[in-house]
C-alpha cells in the first residue's frame, strides 16, 4: 500500500469525531507534497471518498487534483465534481482548512470563466459561502468571486440573498481573507445594485470601497469612485464631499486620477443639459473604453432632465408643455410629454396632462402618512434601528473591556483621588 492509499485510508478512518478530524487536518497539511506528485491517480482516490462524511480529505484531494492547467474534459469533470462537493460538504470539516477551500472555489470560478459558463458556478459558490461563514455577518473571500459570476451571467436577483446580509465581521483566521477581496466585494456588490437600479444601496457599497483603510491607492478604489460619482449624480443630483474617515492617501491622490468624472459633476451642478452632453461626448473615450461607464453616463443625462422638471414643480402649479420644453431644453412638446408621462409612471412627480390645452398641472404628493402600511413601515424601521443600537452598545462594551484600550486609558489618565479612580493605575498585564 503506497503513501496515497495510506492517506486515503486514514481519511476514511479519521473522519468521525472532532478530535479525529483535527488530527486528520494536521496530517493532511503535511501531505501536501505527496498529493501533488500523485495528481494523476487522484480521481480514483476521490471516488472512494464520500464528499459529506470525508469532506476535509475530499477537499485536499480535490484541490491537489485541480492545480495546474486542465484540458477541457478535465475542466468539465472538475466543475461537476466541485459543484456537487460544495453543495454537500460538511461545514465543520471544511472550516478547518479555509485557505484550501478558498482555493477550490477560486479554481471553480476560473474554470467556469474559462468555459464561458459563469452560471454554472453560481449555485455552488452560494452554498460555499453559507458553509464557510460562521454566521451571516462574516465576509469571506468567496463573496467577491460569487458576485463576479452573478454579474457576468447577469443573474442579479440570485445574488440578492447574499448581498442583503449586512457584513460586520472580518476574520482573517477563519475565512482566510485579504483586503483585496473586501474591495472587490464592495465594487461588484455596487455594480449589481446598479443593475437592479437600487442606487442608494449601490452608493453605500461604493462608499465602503472608497473609505476602506488603505495605505496605497489602488485601481479598484479608483474604479469604484468613478461609478460612485455617476451614481450619486443620478440618485442625489450631487456628489457629497469625502467623509472625514476617508484614508489620507485616497484624499490626496484620488482627484488627479478621476478628473473627467469631477468635470462632469461640476457641469451637472450648472444644470445645463447641453454642457453635460458635450462633456460626455468629450470624455467618451474614458467613459466607454476605459471604465465601461457609458451606460451610466447616459443615465446621468436622463436624470438631469428629470431633476430639471422636478424643479419646475416647485415653482409652477400649471405650465404649458411648450414652456416645459423650452425651460428644460427638450426638443419639442412631444418630447416633453413623453418625459412627463414616464416620470408620472415611475412616481417621480405627481401631475396630470391636459392634452386639449397642452397644459400640465402639478399636484402635491398625495402621501398623507396616515395609512396602516405607513405605520407598519415606521414600526419596521424602528425595530431595525433598535437592533442596530443594541449591536452598537455590545461593540462598545467589547471595546471597553479590550486589553489594549484599557492599558492606554490607564496610562494617559492623570492621577486622581483614590475615591474617583475608576481605572486602577496598575493594569495587570500578564493576561
Partner 1 sequence: MDGSENHGRGPTGATPEQIDVESYASLYSGHTKIARLHFIADHSNSRNLELEALRMALDEIRKGENTVLFKECVEKINGRLGPGYGLDQEWIDTVERRAAQRQEKLEMELNGYRTNLIKESIRMGYNDLGDFHYARGDLQQAFKCYVRTRDYCTTSKHIIAMCLNVILVSIELGHFVHVSNYVSKADQTPDVQDPVVLAKLKCAAGLAHLESKKYKLAARKFVDTNFELGSNYSDVIAPQDVATYGGLCALASFDRAELKSKVIDNINFRNFLELVPEVRELIHDFYASRYASCLGYLQKLKPNLLLDIHLYDHVETLYEQIRHKALIQYTNPFISVDLNTMASAFKTSVTGLEKELAALITENQIQARIDSHNKILYARHADQRNTTFQRVLQTGSDFQRETRAMLLRANLMRQDFVMKGNRKQP
Rg (CA), the chain: 28
Tell me how many residues contact partner 1 (CB under 8 A).
54
Residue from 238, 240, 307 nearest 273 by CA: 307
Binding mask 268-307 for partner 1 (x = CB under 8 A): ----------------------------------------
Q: Which of 369, 373, 417, 429 binds partner 1 (CB under 8 A)?
A: 369
Per-residue burial over 79-106, b = 16 or more CB atoms within 10 Å of its CB, e = otherwise: bebbbebbeebbeebbbbbbebbbbbbe
Shortest CB 155 distance to partner 1, Å? 25
79 close to 111: Cβ distance less than 8 angstroms: yes
- Assess 319 for contact with partner 1 (CB under 8 A): yes
Characterise 135 by phi-psi region: left (phi > 0), alpha (psi -120 to 50), beta (else).
Answer: beta
Q: Is residue 318 near partner 1 by the rule CB under 8 A?
A: yes
Contact string 81-110 vs partner 1 (x = CB under 8 A) = ------------------------------
CA–CA distance, 371 with 367 (Å, rounded to integer): 9
* 357 contributes a contact to partner 1 by CB under 8 A: yes
Pick the binder of partner 1 from 365, 375, 400, 421 (CB under 8 A): 365
Cα–Cα distance list, 309 to 306, 322, 337, 342, 365 (Å): 5, 13, 11, 12, 15
- Give the largest CA-CA distance in the chain: 94
Answer yes or no whether residue 336 interacts with partner 1 by CB under 8 A.
no
Q: Tell me how far apart the alpha carbons of residues 291 and 11 are, in angstroms, rounded to a whole number.
A: 49
Phi-psi region of 293 (alpha: psi -120 to 50; beta: other; left: phi over 0): alpha
Based on the shown chain and the rule CB under 8 A, indicate whether residue 314 belongs to the binding site for partner 1.
Answer: yes
- Smallest distance, Å, CB 398 to partner 1? 9
Site string for partner 1, 390-429 (x = CB under 8 A): -xx--x----------------------------------
Say whether residue 148 binds partner 1 (CB under 8 A): no
Q: With respect to partner 1, which residue has the nearer C-beta, 211 or 272?
A: 211
Single out the residue of 162, 158, 84, 153 nearest to residue 118, CA to CA: 153
Cα→Cα distances 202→51, 53, 86, Å: 38, 40, 29
In this complex, which beta carbon is closest to partner 1, that of residue 45 or of residue 176? 176
Which of residues 245 and 420 has its CB atom nearest to partner 1 in the complex? 245
**Locus of grid cell 416620470:** 343
- In the region spanning residues 9 to 68, those forming contacts with partner 1, defined by CB under 8 A, are none
Give the helix/strand (H/E) hosting 362.
strand 359-362
333 touching partner 1, by CB under 8 A: no
- Residue 373 or 417: the one with the smaller Cβ distance to partner 1 is 373
User: C-alpha grid cell for residue 184?
Assistant: 472587490
Considering only residues 162 through 221, tell me which ones interact with partner 1, judged by CB under 8 A.
166-172, 177-180, 182-183, 200, 204, 207-208, 211-216, 218
Residue 215 CB, nearest approach to partner 1 (Å): 6
383 forms part of the interface with partner 1 (CB under 8 A): no
Binding site for partner 1 (CB under 8 A): 166-172, 177-180, 182-183, 200, 204, 207-208, 211-216, 218, 245, 311, 314-320, 323, 357, 359, 361-362, 364-365, 367-369, 374, 377-378, 381-382, 384-385, 388, 391-392, 395
Amino acid at each position: 500500500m503506497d503513501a496515497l492509499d495510506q492517506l486515503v485510508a486514514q481519511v476514511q478512518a479519521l473522519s468521525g469525531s472532532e478530535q479525529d478530524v483535527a488530527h486528520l487536518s494536521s496530517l493532511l497539511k503535511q501531505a501536501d507534497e505527496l498529493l501533488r506528485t500523485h495528481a494523476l491517480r487522484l480521481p480514483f482516490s476521490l471516488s472512494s471518498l464520500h464528499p459529506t462524511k470525508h469532506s476535509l480529505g475530499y477537499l485536499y484531494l480535490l484541490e491537489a487534483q485541480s492545480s495546474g492547467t486542465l484540458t477541457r474534459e478535465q475542466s468539465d469533470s472538475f466543475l461537476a465534481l466541485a459543484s456537487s462537493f460544495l453543495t454537500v460538504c460538511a461545514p465543520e470539516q471544511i472550516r478547518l482548512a479555509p485557505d484550501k477551500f478558498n482555493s477550490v472555489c477560486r479554481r471553480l470560478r476560473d474554470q467556469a470563466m474559462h468555459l464561458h459558463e459563469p452560471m454554472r458556478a453560481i449555485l455552488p459558490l452560494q452554498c460555499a459561502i453559507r458553509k464557510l461563514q460562521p454566521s451571516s455577518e462574516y465576509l469571506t473571500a468567496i463573496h467577491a468571486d460569487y458576485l463576479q459570476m452573478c454579474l457576468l451571467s447577469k443573474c442579479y436577483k440570485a445574488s440578492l440573498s447574499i448581498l442583503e446580509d449586512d457584513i460586520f465581521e472580518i476574520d482573517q483566521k477563519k475565512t482566510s481573507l485579504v483586503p483585496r477581496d473586501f474591495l472587490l466585494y464592495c465594487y461588484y456588490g455596487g455594480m449589481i445594485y446598479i443593475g437592479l437600479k437600487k442606487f442608494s444601496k449601490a452608493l453605500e457599497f461604493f462608499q465602503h470601497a472608497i473609505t476602506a483603510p488603505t495605505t496605497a491607492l489602488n485601481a479598484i478604489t479608483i474604479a469604484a469612485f468613478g461609478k460612485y460619482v455617476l451614481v450619486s449624480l443620478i440618485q442625489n443630483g450631487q456628489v457629497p464631499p469625502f467623509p472625514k474617515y476617508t484614508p489620507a492617501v485616497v484624499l490626496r491622490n484620488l482627484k488627479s486620477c478621476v478628473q473627467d468624472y469631477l468635470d462632469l459633476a461640476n457641469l451637472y451642478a450648472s444644470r445645463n443639459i447641453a454642457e453635460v452632453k458635450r462633456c460626455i461626448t468629450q470624455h467618451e473615450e474614458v467613459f466607454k473604453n476605459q471604465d465601461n461607464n457609458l451606460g451610466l453616463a447616459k443615465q446621468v443625462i436622463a436624470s438631469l432632465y428629470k431633476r430639471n422638471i422636478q424643479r419646475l414643480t416647485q415653482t409652477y402649479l400649471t405650465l404649458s408643455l411648450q414652456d416645459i420644453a423650452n425651460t428644460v431644453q427638450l426638443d419639442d412638446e412631444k418630447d416633453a410629454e413623453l418625459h412627463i408621462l414616464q416620470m408620472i409612471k415611475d412616481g417621480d412627480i405627481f401631475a396630470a396632462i391636459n392634452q386639449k390645452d397642452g397644459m400640465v398641472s402639478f399636484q402635491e404628493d398625495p402621501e398623507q402618512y396616515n395609512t396602516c402600511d405607513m405605520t407598519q413601515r415606521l414600526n419596521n424601521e424602528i425595530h431595525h434601528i433598535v437592533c442596530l443600537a443594541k449591536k452598537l452598545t455590545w461593540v462598545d462594551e467589547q471595546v471597553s473591556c479590550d486589553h489594549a484600550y484599557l492599558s492606554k486609558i490607564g496610562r494617559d489618565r492623570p492621577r486622581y483621588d483614590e475615591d474617583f479612580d475608576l481605572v486602577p493605575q496598575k493594569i495587570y498585564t500578564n493576561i
